[in-house]
Amino acid sequence: MIGRVGFIGLGHMGGPMCANLARAGFDVSAYDLDPDALARAADAGARPAASVRECARGIEALITMLPAPPQVESVLLGDDGAISELEPGALSIDMSTSSWAVGQRVVDAAVQRRLEVLDAPVAGHPRRAQEGALGIYAGGREVAFERARPLFEAMGDPGRIFHVGPHGAGYTVKLMLNLLWFIQSVATGEVLTVGARAGVPIEKLHAALVASPANTNFLEHDVRAVLDEGDYDEVFPLRLVTKDLGLAVDLARDVGVPVELTALVEQVHRRARAAYGDAGGQISAIRLYEDLAGLKLRLGPAA
């Protein structure tokens, strides 16, 4: 039974995840480069650590929640990396959206130190992280997954916690989930903009599509942030969107699958990033279509 946990990476998602572990009764040490994030973790009941190695010292499970593969590799495998500090038998769980290649290097290093490893990225908005209701997709040995389950259930929705296969499978499922979401974002933006430009009131167009066989969760729910409030969801910025899409393209190339649609969707989001900056919201592809058509896709108050 895991009791002592280290948590590295206390951003929009990692901060609430760490707090939920502390509230669930785990003995949590936490580390982040941002002192304000570290202070928030302390307020939630975690013990602040002064470095990656201090955070990893004497724990039974280490969780990392970091922006991209370079940070994952640096934190786990760098000169002062956590893998070299973990004791044999400990569990390293990377919950970042990272790459299979970095994950395999972590596995190779962990095997040398007799550590268990899981890649277990998450899905959900930061409010889902605060509620402890994330989706979690874990790759690695099933025995390690079962050992980590109490940690996952403190951070995620028990009905949306999945063991999806061997090492790397968690990363793959998360990239495919994100890819499909970003494809739907572009497709929804095109469809709504063309229909609105052709003269169909947006509230009638949206209602008809939601009631049709073409309905999706994105069309029914996620796009409402734009339609209701003009909110392009800056909590997840375009610099991370294009990172994830780049990883999906890399994965497709590595496994030998031609992905013309994926490549085009990636370029649409890179164009949005060029237009609206690194901090532009993840639904900014729709903003591109609005600007090109000279209109705003907004529902009326009675919609």
- What positions carry a catalytic annotation? 174
Residue 150 has pLDDT above 70, yes or no: yes
CB 233 within 8 A of CB 283: yes
The pLDDT tens digits for 190-244 are 999 999 999 999 999 999 999 999 999 999 999 999 999 999 999 999 999 999 9
pLDDT value at residue 300:
73
Sequence spans of domains, the chain: 4-166, 172-293
4-166 falls under which CATH superfamily? Answer: NAD(P)-binding Rossmann-like Domain (3.40.50.720)
At 253-269, the pLDDT tens digits run 999 999 999 999 999 99
Q: Give mean pLDDT, residues 170-182.
A: 97
Distant-in-sequence, close-in-space partners of 83: CB < 8 Å, separation ≥ 6: 76, 77, 92, 106, 109, 110, 113, 115
- Please answer whether residues 99 and 171 qualify as being in contact, where contact means their C-beta atoms are separated by less than 8 angstroms: yes
Q: Contact at 8 Å (CB) between 61 and 154?
A: no
CA distance 34 to 203: 43
Residue 237: DSSP 8-state: B
pLDDT score recorded for residue 1: 84
From 1.10.10.10, 1.10.1040.10, 3.40.50.170, 3.30.1020.10, which CATH number describes the 172-293 domain? 1.10.1040.10
The pLDDT score that the predictor gives to residue 301 is: 60
Picking from 19, 18, 7, the residue whose alpha carbon sits closest to that of residue 52 is 7
- By the 8 A CB rule, do 45 and 18 touch? no
Buried b (16+ CB within 10 A) or exposed e, 212-236: eeeebebbeebbebbbeeeebbeeb
Q: Residue 2 CA to chain centroid, in angstroms?
A: 24
Report which secondary-structure segment, H or E, holds 37.
helix 35-43
Residue 24, class by beta-carbon neighbours within 10 Å (0-12 exposed, 13-18 middle, 19+ buried)? middle
* Beta-strand relationship, 91-94 and 116-119: parallel
Token pair of 10 as six digits = 């206390």
Mean pLDDT of 40-68: 97
In the structure encoding, which two tokens stand for residue 99, read together?
A: 């790459």
Q: Which two tokens stand for residue 84?
A: 């070299």
Chain-wide mean pLDDT for the chain? 96
- Compute the distance between CA of residue 184 and CA of residue 129 in angstroms, rounded to an integer: 23
Q: Which two tokens stand for residue 139?
A: 């790759």
Asked if the model's pLDDT at residue 302 lies above 50, the reply is: no
The DSSP code for 280 is: S
Instruction: Count the neighbouring beta carbons within 10 Å of the beta carbon of residue 195.
Output: 18
